[in-house]
């Protein structure tokens, strides 16, 4: 359950003036009434996330972390925009948003407030909490939620300018290369250097029509109904934009090719014994839900997505070294940069072998 057992006292360096926040909420959130108590969620690796509790209801606050930040990171205003638009113009499961604050004087950084969703998050991809016969239904529900996002017409949702309509992969490759090179304190990684050279030279020949992409879709970013395989809310929209929906799906799918390196990893699992869909089954289901015949260049897409994940972990390493990391697991993530980059390079070599007919 996503309740107080997933929160802790506000961590050192992440506290703020609660009475000042309470006064702001009273002015900007309809129906708000204190007194207010604040706890911090144990997750929220990139943007610190807090549980706001009053006698009548509970909210969630997502903020930019304090301290020195990379220019394009921690875009809570974009999270707020996409959640608000999807809630109003689609059936994609998201929490209701209430207000966005761009005044650093309130708590020290930008933030937004949304409803607290009382549900269930799974951190282990093998779903040990569930009976075997139920696990496929939960995976299918998570995949259906992602497919529903990719079916949204950006213009109809008022998000036609949420990102550029083309060139998603080249921009993303360049973006993560720039962030990697800019964060000198986090060090250099041989496989990342190879990928930065290889990826732009092996782009898919055809770019799919742009869709709204989540950018960090994985099982532990999905909030389920406490008692049923139904998605109540997709969480953590910081990396969302207009982009390539196949890349978004591949980021989710890469768990099937990853060991448990600080993230949900299913490589080497006995899927039949666990009752979890295989990669091939999940690919077929996604194609059916989105009207695609197949997913060519899947090895390239997985290599790209692992490269992005290595870039994310590299950024976390930099924040650890600068003292601005916000998760208790940040050091664990930071330690896995090389392992993820090496795995991404393995996928790139597999894609190259496929290009040669091997």
| Token duo for residue 287 | 């194609």
Q: How far apart are CA 84 and CA 328, in angstroms?
A: 29
Domain that holds residue 312: 132-355
Within-domain flag for 107: yes
Could you give the number of structural domains in the chain? Answer: 2
**Reading across the β-sheet that carries 7-8, which strands appear in turn?**
7-8, 37-41, 49-53, 58-63, 111-115, 97-101
Q: How far apart are CA 345 and CA 198, in angstroms?
A: 9
Last residue of a domain, one of 87, 115, 143: 115
Q: State the DSSP code for 120.
A: B
* CATH number (domain holding residue 22): 3.30.200.20
Residue from 212, 197, 174, 161 nearest 72 by CA: 174
The rounded mean pLDDT for the chain is 91
Interval 128-185: pLDDT, tens: 999 999 999 999 999 999 999 999 999 999 999 999 989 999 999 999 999 999 998 8
Q: Looking at the structure, do residues 83 and 201 belong to the same domain, yes or no?
A: no
Helix, strand, coil shares, percent, the chain, to 5? 45, 10, 45
List CB contacts of 254: < 8 A, sequence separation 6 or more.
Answer: 302, 305, 306, 309
Q: How far apart are CA 260 and CA 299, in angstroms?
A: 20
Which residue in the block uniquely carries the two structure tokens 């999807």? Answer: 86
Q: Looking at the structure, do residues 275 and 348 belong to the same domain, yes or no?
A: yes
Last residue of a domain, one of 57, 89, 115: 115
Q: How far apart are CA 326 and CA 123, in angstroms?
A: 18
Within-domain flag for 127: no
Q: Looking at the structure, do residues 110 and 160 belong to the same domain, yes or no?
A: no
What is the model's pLDDT at position 4?
A: 47
What is the model's pLDDT at position 329?
A: 79
**Packing angle of the helix pair 279-290, 132-150 (nearest 10 deg):** 40
What is the model's pLDDT at position 72?
A: 52
Residue from 197, 304, 296 nearest 254 by CA: 304
Whether the Cβ atoms of residue 342 and residue 191 lie closer than 8 Å to each other: yes
Interval 101-134: pLDDT, tens: 999 999 999 999 999 999 999 989 999 999 999 9
Cα four-point dihedral sign 197, 320, 127, 1: negative
Q: Looking at the structure, do residues 182 and 103 belong to the same domain, yes or no?
A: no
What is the model's pLDDT at position 279?
A: 97
What is the model's pLDDT at position 328?
A: 67
Q: Looking at the structure, do residues 318 and 184 belong to the same domain, yes or no?
A: yes
Q: Looking at the structure, do residues 201 and 330 belong to the same domain, yes or no?
A: yes
3-state secondary structure of 5: helix
What is the model's pLDDT at position 3?
A: 41
Q: Looking at the structure, do residues 11 and 81 belong to the same domain, yes or no?
A: yes
Q: What angle do CA 124, 326, 71 make, to 5 degrees?
A: 115
Q: Give the phi and the psi of residue 39 in degrees, each rounded to 5.
A: -130, 160
* CATH number (domain holding residue 333): 3.90.1200.10
What is the model's pLDDT at position 339?
A: 93
Q: Give the phi and the psi of residue 97 in degrees, each rounded to 5.
A: -95, 155
What is the model's pLDDT at position 64?
A: 87
Q: State the DSSP code for 233.
A: E
Q: Looking at the structure, do residues 143 and 97 belong to the same domain, yes or no?
A: no
| Token duo for residue 348 | 């790139």
Q: State the DSSP code for 207.
A: P
What is the model's pLDDT at position 153?
A: 96
How does pLDDT run along the chain (358 residues), one tens digit per residue?
344 468 889 888 889 999 999 999 999 999 999 999 999 987 655 688 999 999 999 999 999 887 554 445 568 999 999 999 999 999 999 999 999 999 999 999 999 999 999 999 998 999 999 999 999 999 999 999 999 999 999 999 999 999 998 999 999 999 999 999 999 889 999 999 999 999 999 999 999 999 999 999 999 999 999 999 999 999 989 889 999 999 999 999 999 999 876 557 899 999 999 999 999 999 999 999 999 999 989 999 999 999 999 999 999 899 888 887 766 678 888 889 999 999 999 999 999 887 643 3
Q: Looking at the structure, do residues 255 and 322 belong to the same domain, yes or no?
A: yes
Last residue of a domain, one of 61, 90, 115: 115
Q: Looking at the structure, do residues 107 and 138 belong to the same domain, yes or no?
A: no
Q: Looking at the structure, do residues 64 and 158 belong to the same domain, yes or no?
A: no
Within-domain flag for 18: yes
Strands (E) located in 21-76: 37-41, 49-53, 58-63
Q: Looking at the structure, do residues 102 and 222 belong to the same domain, yes or no?
A: no
| Token duo for residue 171 | 């921009």
Within-domain flag for 286: yes
Within-domain flag for 109: yes
List CB contacts of 358: < 8 A, sequence separation 6 or more.
Answer: none
What is the model's pLDDT at position 358?
A: 33
Whether the Cβ atoms of residue 148 and residue 90 lie closer than 8 Å to each other: yes
Within-domain flag for 318: yes
């Amino acid at each position: 359950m996503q309740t107080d057992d997933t929160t802790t006292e506000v961590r050192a360096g992440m506290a703020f003036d609660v009475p000042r926040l309470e006064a702001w909420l009273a002015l900007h959130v309809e129906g708000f009434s204190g007194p207010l108590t604040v706890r911090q969620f144990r997750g929220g690796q990139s943007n610190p996330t807090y549980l706001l509790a009053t006698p009548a209801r509970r909210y969630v606050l997502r903020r930019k972390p304090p301290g020195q930040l990379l220019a394009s990171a921690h875009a809570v205003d974009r999270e707020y925009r996409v959640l608000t638009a999807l809630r109003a113009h689609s059936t994609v499961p998201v929490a209701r948003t209430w207000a966005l604050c761009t005044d650093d004087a309130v708590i020290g950084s930008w933030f937004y407030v949304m409803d607290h969703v009382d549900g269930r998050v799974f951190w282990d991809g093998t779903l040990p909490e569930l009976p075997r016969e139920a696990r496929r239904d939960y995976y299918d529900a998570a995949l259906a939620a992602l497919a529903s996002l990719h079916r949204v017409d950006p213009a109809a949702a008022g998000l036609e300018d949420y990102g550029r309509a083309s060139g998603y992969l080249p921009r993303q490759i360049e973006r993560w290369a720039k962030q990697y090179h800019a964060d000198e304190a986090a060090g250099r990684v041989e496989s990342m250097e190879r990928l930065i050279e290889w990826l732009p030279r092996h782009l898919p020949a055809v770019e799919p029509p742009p869709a709204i992409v989540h950018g960090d879709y994985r099982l532990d970013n999905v909030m389920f109904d406490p008692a049923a395989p139904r998605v109540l809310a997709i969480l953590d929209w910081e990396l969302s934009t207009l982009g390539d929906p196949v890349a978004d799906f591949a980021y989710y799918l890469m768990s099937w090719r990853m060991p448990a390196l600080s993230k949900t990893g299913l490589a080497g699992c006995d899927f039949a014994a666990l009752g979890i869909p295989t990669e091939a089954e999940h690919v077929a289901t996604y194609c059916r839900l989105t009207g695609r015949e197949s997913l060519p260049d899947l090895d390239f897409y997985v290599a790209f997505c692992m490269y992005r994940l290595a870039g994310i972990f590299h950024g976390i390493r930099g924040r650890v070294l600068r003292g601005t990391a916000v998760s208790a697991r940040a050091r664990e993530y930071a330690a896995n940069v090389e392992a993820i980059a090496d795995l991404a390079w393995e996928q790139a070599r597999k894609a190259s072998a496929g290009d040669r007919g091997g």
